[in-house]
């Protein structure tokens, strides 16, 4: 069992959820207490998700979930987000516009003006990326 993942999570979701859905391999799950710092960046990110899911939230807030990951680990996390959004509301903060385009249903664009963060535009992914209305959003 992983240190920091409540045992209730294993009861609620089972080992298959952690090993298949979250990609935390059987060796990690069955190897006794495994310190999180001994895991790769991608495994640590999936462990954070496991901890969050164990609380059975209605909403998951993910702040730059792939920013410090290699491309392969980032793709695994994106695939996981696509899976999780079927069961949870995900709010993802990212500077990666390509990632937002791949995973989002709705997009909100914020910009700092006069030292104040402001909502510039929001809408469906298609609206924002294909038919932007604001000059800053249309700056591509």
pLDDT at 26: 43
> To which residue do tokens 């998951």 refer?
60
Smallest Cα–Cα separation from 49: which of 27, 32, 69, 31?
A: 69
Interatomic CA distance for residues 103 and 14, integer angstroms: 26
pLDDT at 30: 45
pLDDT 10s digits, 9-39: 444 455 555 555 555 554 444 445 566 667 7
pLDDT 10s digits, 123-133: 999 999 999 99
What does R_g of the chain's alpha carbons equal in angstroms? Answer: 17
Overall pTM > 0.75: no
Interatomic CA distance for residues 118 and 22, integer angstroms: 35
pLDDT 10s digits, 59-83: 999 999 888 888 988 888 898 889 8
Whether the predicted pLDDT of 101 surpasses 60: yes
Strands, E assignment, the chain: 59-63, 89-93, 106-113, 116-124
Mean pLDDT for all residues in the chain? 78
Interatomic CA distance for residues 119 and 27, integer angstroms: 45
pLDDT band at 138 (very low <50, low <70, confident <90, very high): confident
49 vs 123, residue with greater confidence: 123
Whether the predicted pLDDT of 118 surpasses 70: yes
Please provide the distance, in angstroms rounded to a whole number, between the alpha carbons at the two ends of the chain: 47
122 vs 35, residue with greater confidence: 122
């Amino acid at each position: 069992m992983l240190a920091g993942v409540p045992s209730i999570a294993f009861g609620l979701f089972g080992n298959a959820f952690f090993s298949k859905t979250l990609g935390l391999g059987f060796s990690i799950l069955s190897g006794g207490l495994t310190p999180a710092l001994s895991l790769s960046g991608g495994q640590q990110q999936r462990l954070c998700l496991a901890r969050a899911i164990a609380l059975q939230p209605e909403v998951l807030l993910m702040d730059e979930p792939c920013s410090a990951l290699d491309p392969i680990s980032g793709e695994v996390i994106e695939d996981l987000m696509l899976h999780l959004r079927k069961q949870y509301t995900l709010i993802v903060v990212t500077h990666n516009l390509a990632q937002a385009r791949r995973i989002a249903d709705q997009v909100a664009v914020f910009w700092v003006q006069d030292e104040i963060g402001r909502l510039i535009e929001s809408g469906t992914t298609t609206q924002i990326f294909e038919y932007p209305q604001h000059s800053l959003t249309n700056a591509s």
